[in-house]
Structure 1
Amino acid sequence: MSTSYFPAVKGLYMLQLLAQEMDTYVHIYVSTEEGGPKTIQSARLQKIKIIQRQRRKGVTLRWRPSLVDPQSTTYCAVVHDQKTYGSLCAAQADKFGILPPVSRPVAASQTVISWQPSTQNHSTRTDDTFPIIGCVGRSTQYTTLNLKQGKNYYFQVFATDGQNNFTYPYGSASLIFDGRVKPIRLKNGISAYANLKKYDGKVVFRYKIPKNPGKQLKVIIIPCGSVVYVEVLKKGSVIVAKRNVLNYEKITIDSPTESSRYYIKVFAVERAELDKSAGIEILASTKQLSKALLPPMPHTTSLNEYKPLRTCDSVTIGWIPVPGRAVSHYCISAREGELEQVNSMACPAKNGKIMKADDYVVKYCKDIAQSDKSVITENVKYLKAGSSYIVQVTVKKPRGRIISYDLLQVRTLPKCRKVSK
């Protein structure tokens, strides 16, 4: 697409175009707007974000909606492995090899519609012949799959303003596709965090055994928001079979050898679970866990409610304390809502909260010295009558990290009981 600007006075103008090599056709848009069409001015600032999909050997393109007529703007994505196009119609001519089946002038939007390869409007491509053209309506993302390792690809987005039928380049990007899952290096005794969505639901951590490793390798796994699969490999062989991890898991490997490498693979169980996940945090250490500043969690991390003690403005909960005689720092918090509505829970070990502090109805902390009690109980007050709450308890060692117990759904009584005199 080329754009020309020239001063003009009121009058009649004639534009002549000559095809130099073969019969073709053009889209023409004339505007008296200062600086040219606003759509082109805004498009110059647009960037396309590329998200790699390692599990499906593809990428997802995302872009911001047009600032000009966003409700009437539609988009088409073009993918090629060798070149880019100056216009959408050039890509369509290269793809379909035909001209619009009319001899009279037509709106550009009509040729776009007539050249779509099917009546379906998918946001994921199904055709492998380049150029790949996918028109996605008002959606601002497009996924293309089955890309080849190490090959260069060019991505373009074209927008059509439904108010004036003007189709224009909206953004572009290029990428050498690398579908390999690159391991994240773990340092001894230092945790690492990975966003599972960013890695398309699969991430690999690599840990190298240091000098004088001791008798055991301990791996702490803390999912953030959803259940995951975890397995551990050494030299391509599985040494810890795939298992489900929901909240907190400690894996112990005996007799690690110096300089040997372990690979910890983490998978989202399914796509629906990936939407709930905020990520995964992992710590590997040949030191004692006390040196890693992580509290040793009890055999069960569930919270329990004592339902007979419910009132209209409080609930009573209990949990098993962390082992040991040291004083532990517990934080109790509650926010209004249903547990299934918590689509993304931040890592407790990362920042110790499920939402922003302002989202809590109640939050307080206290130091509790370990005693002979097998269960710690707490009365959570200042709640509303007949309301549902999500309760969270976190624990922290002195100068250490934060780990969360399981979330608990509770509900207060709808009416307050009258106190008899």
Structure 2
Amino acid sequence: MPACGRKDDSDMTPNWWVLHEGRYIASQTDGSQFFRPCTQRGLYQVLVNVTGLTAYGSCPYRVGYNRKGTEEFRSWPFRNLTAPSRIKVQQQRRRYVVMIKWEKSKLDIHVMNYCLAVSTGRRQRTLCQALGNSIHRPACDTIAVNDFLHRLSPRDERKVDPEVGTTIVCTGTRTRQLIRGMKPNVTYFVDVFAIHSQHNNLSFLLGSTQVQLNRTRPTQLVEGKVVVGKLSTLGGLALFNFKVPKRSQNSFFKLHLTPCGGSVNVEILKKKHRIMEPVRDVYYPKTITVRNVRPGERYLIRVYEADDTSRMNRVQLAVTSRDDFIDLPRMPSNTTITELVPLRKCHSSTIAWFGSPEKDVTYCVYVFKLSKTQYYNNVKIPTYCELENRDVCNHPQFHNKHCFNGNDFNPLSLDIPNLLPEHYYSVFVTAIPPRGRSLPYKSVRIKTSSHCDSNQISPAGAASGKLIVKGGFRKGGGHKRRNTPNANGATTGNSLTTTGVTKRTNNRKRLQQQQSHRKV
């Protein structure tokens, strides 16, 4: 700037040109200063045009520079309070998509905005360095950093640009960002910057981490083995692989899927193409038959959450290319458990279901208490996968369990006593073969009557060892309920009792009672 000048020259100002690595940088100044925020490293050439300014006497001109932004940040009294933030990376179920989360700045939490820099070459230590390496390099004019970042509107999802070294996305006040387009087996450097919204050109590095997406290998499925898949590994997705045996004589294979709470969707693919329509909203144990397959070919099974808010962690999957599963019981085509509402009482309720076509199958019935909210919201307590756990009886809402062998009758029925009036329960039934693992039926929710009649049996009567006798019932298709003998004989104190008297036996007893009255 000139140290002296004539009064007539007060309206005349010098023109500035600044070159950085051969590129002109325009400026908008008052002529006495040139301020350039967010400067990059390198050689700068400063040209000052003083044509038209006549020097008066020995009037010198001084040109100096000052790294104002750096010095201002170094002398900032609250710099030591900018504690590093922890960054969490979650891989999503979609291919090569990650969710990046971080903690808010401890300093001026209410006025901080955030920008994310994803680089492939090296870390970005400053926001200015990241801007210089990104496609959003500032234009050839002097601008404020905050004004420029406001142009980068927040997006819910941002794709990594492979043509540039650094991809920048600003999130505003949000502390999460979805990034897609990352390549497998490539190391990405993720840097989060905090920008003070009330102090222009004030930003600092909040946290850094590295991300490397490994190519996911599906879990191999083997016949006769139940595989547990974790959906949390890929953010709600589990991948399985099954190769149809070359000696298989069937053109199909079966999948038995048990979701451990929540609901899932299932897709079957061959060479990245679906071979059947997706099976959606599977929330109970279900057998899926995949047809038109060829022996020796490999198929990919994709199981993913049907609802993003379900937070389901696991699924159980079994596969077979035979007619029946190995070491698993044969299940009927209809695995629904039905509550017989006409037989509902205040202290008991009756359920019925179709039995397994196999013999020597043991059935276990689990009863769990439910609150009114859980009953009407269809909350599964516990999950299907927890029924095989030895500690299931220690569940805080566990009410009762009873196991019996009932292969002589179909459909099967069971009277559940010792219930409370106007209460809600969840009932599970599992079929257990002589060898192998059990399979659950579709659970049912039941409730008891709110009023007790004088002729209804109280829980004390059932607990004293008396057998609960019921008449026959009509099932869909005209089937009557047939009585299931209790495997343990007499009924013990807080246990379930099976209905065990046929209609013919009832008629015989009535006839004997009438004859005895006539003799008297």
**Deviates further, 331-340 or 298-307:** 331-340
Q: Which residue of 2 aligns with 1:251?
A: 289
Q: Which residue of 1 aligns with 2:401?
A: 364
Q: Which amino acid aligns with 1:367?
A: F
Q: How many residues align?
A: 377
Q: Which residue of 2 aligns with 1:60?
A: 99
Give the 5 Å matches for 1:2-401.
21=43, 25-26=69-70, 28=73, 37=80, 39-40=82-83, 43=85, 46-55=86-95, 57-63=96-102, 65=103, 72=110, 75-92=114-131, 94=133, 95-97=136-138, 101=143, 115-118=149-152, 120-125=153-158, 128=161, 130-135=166-171, 137-139=173-175, 141-148=176-183, 151-159=186-194, 167-175=204-212, 177=213, 182-196=217-231, 198-199=233-234, 203-209=238-244, 218-224=253-259, 225-231=262-268, 233=270, 242-244=278-280, 246=282, 247=284, 248-251=286-289, 257=295, 260-268=296-304, 270=306, 272=307, 275=310, 277-285=312-320, 289=324, 292-312=326-346, 314-336=348-370, 337-338=374-375, 340=377, 342=379, 346=383, 348=385, 351=388, 358-379=395-416, 381-383=418-420, 385-401=421-437
After superposition, the CA RMSD in angstroms is: 4.6
Question: Compared with structure 1, are the counterparts of its residues 28 and 240 closer, same or farther at alpha carbon in structure 2 (3 Å cutoff)?
Answer: closer
Counterparts of 2:132 and 2:315, CA distance in 1: 47
Structure 2 residue 448 is the aligned partner of structure 1 residue 406: no
Could you tell me the percent identity over the aligned residues?
Answer: 18
After superposition, the C-alpha distances for 1:356-403 in whole angstroms (9 at most, x for unaligned) are 9535242424233322232232316434x5454443333333453232
State the Cα distance separating 1:172 from its structure 2 match: 1.1
Contact 1:217 1:253 in 2 (8 A): yes
Question: Compared with structure 1, are the counterparts of its residues 261 and 398 closer, same or farther at alpha carbon in structure 2 (3 Å cutoff)?
Answer: same
After superposition, the C-alpha distances for 1:299-355 in whole angstroms (9 at most, x for unaligned) are 1111111223334454332222222221414131324214646489855389569x9
Q: Which amino acid aligns with 1:48?
A: K
Residue 122 of structure 2 aligns to a residue whose secondary structure is coil
Counterparts of 2:389 and 2:367, CA distance in 1: 11
Counterparts of 1:204 and 1:362, CA distance in 2: 36
Contact 1:208 1:262 in 2 (8 A): yes
Structure 1: 5+ residue stretches without partners: 1-17, 103-110
Q: Which amino acid aligns with 1:137?
A: T
Counterparts of 1:343 and 1:161, CA distance in 2: 47
Counterparts of 2:128 and 2:159, CA distance in 1: 20
Counterparts of 1:71 and 1:335, CA distance in 2: 45
Q: Which amino acid aligns with 1:370?
A: N
Question: Compared with structure 1, are the counterparts of its residues 417 and 91 closer, same or farther at alpha carbon in structure 2 (3 Å cutoff)?
Answer: same
Counterparts of 1:397 and 1:163, CA distance in 2: 70
In the superposition, the TM-score normalised over structure 1's length comes to 0.69
Higher RCO (CA 8 Å, separation ≥ 6 residues): 1
Residue 348 of structure 1 aligns to a residue whose secondary structure is helix
Structure 2: 5+ residue stretches without partners: 1-38, 45-66, 457-520
Counterparts of 2:311 and 2:318, CA distance in 1: 22
**Deviates further, 302-311 or 385-394:** 385-394
Q: Which residue of 1 aligns with 2:35?
A: none
In the superposition, the TM-score normalised over structure 2's length comes to 0.58
Question: Compared with structure 1, are the counterparts of its residues 207 and 29 closer, same or farther at alpha carbon in structure 2 (3 Å cutoff)?
Answer: same
State the Cα distance separating 1:243 from its structure 2 match: 4.4
Larger % of strand: which? Answer: 1
Counterparts of 1:300 and 1:402, CA distance in 2: 17
